[in-house]
Amino acid sequence: MSLPSKENFSEWYHEVIQTAEIMDVRYPVKGLYVWFPFGFKIRQFVYSKLREIMDREHDEVYFPALIPETELGKEGEHIKGFEDEVYWITHGGLTPLDVKLALRPTSETAMYPMFKLWVRNHADLPLKVYQIVNTFRYETKHTRPLIRLREITSFKEAHTVHKNFEEAEEHVKKAIGFYKEFYDFLAIPYMVIRRPEWDKFPGAAYTIAFDTVMPDGRTLQIGTVHHLADNFAKTFEIKYEAPNGEHYYAHQTCYGISERCIAALISIHGDDQGLVLPFEVAPIQIVVIPILYKGKEEAVMDACKKLVDKLASFRVILDDGEERPGAKYYKWELKGVPIRFEIGPRDAEKGVAVASFRDEKKKFEVSIDEINDDLIWQWAQIMRERLFTSAANRILEKIKIVKSPDELKEWVGKGVAIFHLCNNEDCGLSLEEHGGSLLGWFEEVPEWINLDVEGECIVCGSKGKVAALARTY
Amino acid sequence: MSLPSKENFSEWYHEVIQTAEIMDVRYPVKGLYVWFPFGFKIRQFVYSKLREIMDREHDEVYFPALIPETELGKEGEHIKGFEDEVYWITHGGLTPLDVKLALRPTSETAMYPMFKLWVRNHADLPLKVYQIVNTFRYETKHTRPLIRLREITSFKEAHTVHKNFEEAEEHVKKAIGFYKEFYDFLAIPYMVIRRPEWDKFPGAAYTIAFDTVMPDGRTLQIGTVHHLADNFAKTFEIKYEAPNGEHYYAHQTCYGISERCIAALISIHGDDQGLVLPFEVAPIQIVVIPILYKGKEEAVMDACKKLVDKLASFRVILDDGEERPGAKYYKWELKGVPIRFEIGPRDAEKGVAVASFRDEKKKFEVSIDEINDDLIWQWAQIMRERLFTSAANRILEKIKIVKSPDELKEWVGKGVAIFHLCNNEDCGLSLEEHGGSLLGWFEEVPEWINLDVEGECIVCGSKGKVAALARTY
């Protein structure tokens, strides 16, 4: 059973999720999936990195999953944004509840009534916490594992409280830095884009998003950072006493990454043979395969065991099963094992192993004596850079600079259109009529986009900045 | 602000949970609480140990939190046991759902429809998985943080599938071993007791529970292991093909530990000054406090810094704040820091530190040169043994061997009654009329219970085994 070609991305994705044992899609409720043990391990390694980054300056906490309707409804914009997609709990056992409970779609309204109690004095600020929790959305559109689903099983959400707008804005920049580090680690190229007014987080002053480009040219939002100003602070009465004795409303930020980061990891790096995983997040990092011929088994197995022993600090397995080598290659390629060693009788005699990397076809000989932890980590680093470069190259093919609405209209079915756009809402909305969504304006224009930071709006000709439009997931 | 005496256990518990910053009890829904950063760290360390034990022979997975009514209702006994305390989701946004969804109270009915797909052949067995997830119960009784609550934020549940009753039973014994190791690690004394028929898990063949004894003499169930026989396998059609080509129903077990393990940790070891934590799970393991006198600050601070550097492999803090030493002692005792070092000018001169352990009052001098990782780990080990012994001694005061129903009746308000009981249901039920619940029969009678394994039932005089009855949480 082989995978569909990745050119049919949607089929490939659905199939690789199940076959590589990321998630079992056969759970009997639409939009809910089961993490297989193998997928769960990837999730753990990816989220360990995210935790490591967060732990540097946030405290991990846990707030309840159930939010009373009275709290969820307090911030007018916010509830408008979520009321259609919230799951409502109306009964405990057979008893109707006095106050309906929402299953958290996100935790602002669970946390901020408590922040009111936690923040008293300027010395309590900044307050920076995060949690990694399951969140719920009643998705009515087409659902897809890890991308659009009804239980997001691992939403990392951070929430911070600051003295004023400027300090919160400084922190927004820091948060963007955290997310860059995280996606650089996963070798996933991204665009950092400020969303248009009509697409910001409900209740925020502004929203900055990380978007990556999927193999079919549609973009996937893989992270967001919101400046909340004092909007929620006013609703939930989060005030602090300044050194001058006056009381001021605090300013807040929040920023989140969901398991879409794993959807991106799989989609951006995978190929027709299956998963391609960066070394650090691969559940199995190295596989050693003996090539056995009758009468020469012992020397080969000795050499393999010697190699496996040398690699004990990694997640390594010796595959000495009964299958033919070809079947083993197939199996471990599907699972994205980054480094493979094979040892046959002649290799064992020469004291070498034949190495190959999951993302490259070529094999090469390496002396077993020379293999050590440093060498493996060098390879891992080079591999990450190579993964990033080839991902970026594939993405560039899906990106086009367009000079007019007509050119945009022609391209929009194929990938991401990049252009200058003014901040007149009508100009942006008029472009969305050609299909796709206006992602917004780049926070920093990446080098690989060959456009001046400023230029004439392709709609009205007035002063504009670099913007992007695409069909989105 | 000092804590109530632990003799008023209920007040003490409520107060220490909030004051030591385990959980914030002020969340605006009854029975739901917020994990503070400090409490969350304890939770992480405790659950890391549980994960370490589980990972030896289980795969970690994640199944959805939402279970369709159709699945939850399949096993007759099971649904009867849970239907009164399940939260029901009836609406997505404003739309009524076709099939009501239950928020998982436990995951048998989420997992077993998938196990049907996962188990085909005898080679697929045994299947052993676990997950650590939030589960939900609509508790109508008095709620209490970590003990009786509506969202159990970290329920560790393991589920296994075996070929036949005997292999599942072997695994039940193993599971009991895992839990013993876990609670030994936390220095929490326990009783391993087979529940009576009327108190077993709904749908199980039998249930074996871990109970500990709280300071007020009531028992707390801190873990359960269930043999499910083929009850669920028949309902969910979990069958495998044996080597002989025949198909058989599988036999299953499941076993769980909730965050009650942390309730026990706090309650069993804590004292009037606050938390007392075993070294391994303390968020702060060591505190170093300089005792400063004018003009001698530098020598003292140098000695303190030298000591902190030596202790870099532990979670250590140097408390050089402005407060008086007494205020610092108070603060770190509340937080259960296991080891404290103080260094004053004369100590600095002599090259010593004054050490003390959280669970003992006495201070002693130790040469700074002699302090190293090995010494600290020795102390940690001795401290764990001491914590266990003093907990066990306090528990023994709450346990009494009773020779007749009258004696039991007199004792039952004060603690745990131990006695011989036959397996006639009427005898057990008649004792419950005196208050308390029959916990069941000991799987192994611990040494510290001075009773023969068999003896005459205190109700009817026929052959009985050692049983226990107590008021329970």
A45 to chain B, any CB pair closer than 8 A? The answer is no
Q: How many CB atoms lie within 10 A of CB A137?
A: 22
**Cβ contact, residue pair B27, A90, below 8 Å:** no
Among A36, A61, A150, beta carbon nearest to B40: A61
Among A86, A101, A151, beta carbon nearest to B65: A151
Q: Which residues of chain B are within 8 Å of residue A90 when distances are taken between CB atoms?
A: 88-91
DSSP assignment of A30-71: TT--EE-HHHHHHHHHHHHHHHHHHHTT-EE-B--SEEEHHH
Q: Which residues of chain A are within 8 Å of residue B27 when distances are taken between CB atoms?
A: 63-64, 110, 113-114
Which two three-digit tokens encode residue A34? 């089961």
CA distance, residue A379 to nearest chain B CA (Å): 29
Helices A373-396 and A260-269 cross at an angle (nearest 10°) of 90
A57 to chain B, any CB pair closer than 8 A? The answer is no
* Digit-coded pLDDT (tens) for A94-124: 899 999 999 999 999 999 999 999 999 999 9
**Cβ contact, residue pair A134, B24, below 8 Å:** no
Question: Which H helix or E strand runs over B112?
Answer: helix B108-118
User: Does residue B52 sit in helix, strand or coil?
Assistant: helix
Query: What pLDDT was estimated at residue B446?
Result: 87
CA distance A10 to A148: 13
CA distance, residue B67 to nearest chain A CA (Å): 8
Among A27, A99, A150, beta carbon nearest to B114: A27
The residue of chain B with its CA nearest to that of A149 is B64
**Cβ contact, residue pair B27, A114, below 8 Å:** yes
Q: Which residues of chain B are within 8 Å of residue A84 when distances are taken between CB atoms?
A: 93-94
Which two three-digit tokens encode residue B15? 């107060």
- Residue-wise pLDDT tens for chain B (473 aa)? 689 999 999 999 999 999 999 999 999 999 999 999 999 999 999 999 999 999 999 999 999 999 999 999 998 888 888 888 999 999 999 899 999 999 999 999 999 999 999 999 999 999 999 999 999 999 888 899 999 999 999 999 999 999 999 999 999 999 999 999 999 999 999 999 999 999 999 999 999 999 999 999 999 999 999 999 999 999 999 999 999 999 999 999 999 999 999 999 999 999 999 999 999 999 999 999 999 988 889 999 999 999 999 999 999 999 999 999 999 999 999 999 999 999 999 999 999 999 999 999 799 999 999 999 999 999 999 999 999 999 999 999 999 999 999 999 999 999 999 999 999 999 999 999 999 999 999 998 988 888 889 999 999 999 999 999 999 99
CA distance, residue B296 to nearest chain A CA (Å): 30
Q: Which residues of chain A are within 8 Å of residue B54 when distances are taken between CB atoms?
A: none
Query: What pLDDT was estimated at residue B141?
Result: 84
How large is the average pLDDT for residues A30-45?
A: 97
A90 to chain B, any CB pair closer than 8 A? The answer is yes
Interface mutation vs chain A, best among B62, B72, B315, most A CBs within 10 Å: B62
* Per-chain mean pLDDT for chain A: 96
A126 to chain B, any CB pair closer than 8 A? The answer is no
Domain ranges of chain A: 9-269, 284-382, 399-470
Query: What pLDDT was estimated at residue A189?
Result: 96
B56 to chain A, any CB pair closer than 8 A? The answer is no
List the CATH code of the domain at B284-377.
Answer: 3.40.50.800
Query: What pLDDT was estimated at residue A215?
Result: 98
Among A28, A110, A129, beta carbon nearest to B37: A129
The residue of chain B with its CA nearest to that of A60 is B37
* Alpha-carbon distance values, B53 to B13, B127, B223, B431 (Å): 29, 17, 15, 38
Neighbouring residues of A28: CB distance < 8 A, sequence distance ≥ 6: B68, B70, B71, B113
A–B CB contacts, 8 A cutoff, strictly below? 158
CA distance, residue A273 to nearest chain B CA (Å): 24
- The structure tokens 């559940």 sit at A283
Domain A284-382 of CATH type 3.40.50.800: yes
Q: Please name every residue paired with B229 in a beta bridge, in sequence order, or none if there are none.
A: B252
Neighbouring residues of B345: CB distance < 8 A, sequence distance ≥ 6: B291, B293, B296, B299, B300
Closest-CA residue to B110 (of A37, A105, A32, A137): A32
Q: Do domains B9-269 and B284-377 have the same CATH topology?
A: no
**Cβ contact, residue pair B61, A35, below 8 Å:** yes
The residue of chain B with its CA nearest to that of A67 is B29
Query: What pLDDT was estimated at residue A251?
Result: 98
CA distance B380 to B185: 11
How large is the average pLDDT for residues A430-452?
A: 92
CA distance, residue B85 to nearest chain A CA (Å): 5
Q: How many CB atoms lie within 10 A of CB B363?
A: 12
Query: What pLDDT was estimated at residue B12?
Result: 98
Which two three-digit tokens encode residue A316? 């390594």
B375 to chain A, any CB pair closer than 8 A? The answer is no
A295 to chain B, any CB pair closer than 8 A? The answer is no
**Model pTM score:** 0.96
Q: Which residues of chain B are within 8 Å of residue A151 when distances are taken between CB atoms?
A: 64-66
**Cβ contact, residue pair B151, A65, below 8 Å:** yes
Domain B400-470 of CATH type 3.30.110.30: yes
* Digit-coded pLDDT (tens) for A156-176: 999 999 999 999 999 999 999
DSSP 8-state symbol, B276:
-
Query: What pLDDT was estimated at residue B296?
Result: 83
**Cβ contact, residue pair B28, A68, below 8 Å:** yes
Query: What pLDDT was estimated at residue A361?
Result: 78
A357 to chain B, any CB pair closer than 8 A? The answer is no
**Cβ contact, residue pair B85, A91, below 8 Å:** no
Q: Cis check for the bond before A189: say yes or no (omega within 30 of 0).
A: no
Q: Which of residues 431-460 of A touch B (CB under 8 A)?
A: none
B68 to chain A, any CB pair closer than 8 A? The answer is yes
Which two three-digit tokens encode residue A132? 């990694």
Among B34, B40, B65, beta carbon nearest to A64: B34
Which two three-digit tokens encode residue A148? 């659009």
CA distance, residue B31 to nearest chain A CA (Å): 10
B198 to chain A, any CB pair closer than 8 A? The answer is no
The residue of chain B with its CA nearest to that of A99 is B29
Superfamily name with CATH number, domain A399-470: C-terminal domain of ProRS (3.30.110.30)
Query: What pLDDT was estimated at residue A245?
Result: 96
A160 to chain B, any CB pair closer than 8 A? The answer is no
Among B33, B114, B153, beta carbon nearest to A26: B114
Query: What pLDDT was estimated at residue A77?
Result: 83
Cα radius of gyration (chain B): 25
> Could you say which architecture CATH assigns to the domain B9-269?
2-Layer Sandwich (3.30)
How large is the average pLDDT for residues A131-137?
A: 97
Among B35, B66, B136, beta carbon nearest to A151: B66
**Cβ contact, residue pair A63, B34, below 8 Å:** yes
A314 to chain B, any CB pair closer than 8 A? The answer is no
Amino acid at B376: I
Interface mutation vs chain A, best among B51, B88, B151, most A CBs within 10 Å: B88
Q: How confident is the model at residue A1 (pLDDT cuts 50, 70, 90)?
A: low
**Cβ contact, residue pair B28, A113, below 8 Å:** yes
Question: Which H helix or E strand runs over B177?
Answer: helix B165-185
Query: What pLDDT was estimated at residue B1?
Result: 61
* Alpha-carbon distance values, A168 to A223, A386, B37, B309 (Å): 18, 36, 21, 35
**Cβ contact, residue pair A64, B95, below 8 Å:** no
A146 to chain B, any CB pair closer than 8 A? The answer is no
As a residue count, chain A comes to: 473
Q: Which residues of chain B are within 8 Å of residue A29 when distances are taken between CB atoms?
A: 64, 66, 68, 99, 101
Closest-CA residue to A224 (of A210, A213, A235): A210
Q: Which residues of chain A are within 8 Å of residue B120 when distances are taken between CB atoms?
A: none
- The structure tokens 């070498």 sit at A352
**Cβ contact, residue pair B27, A63, below 8 Å:** yes
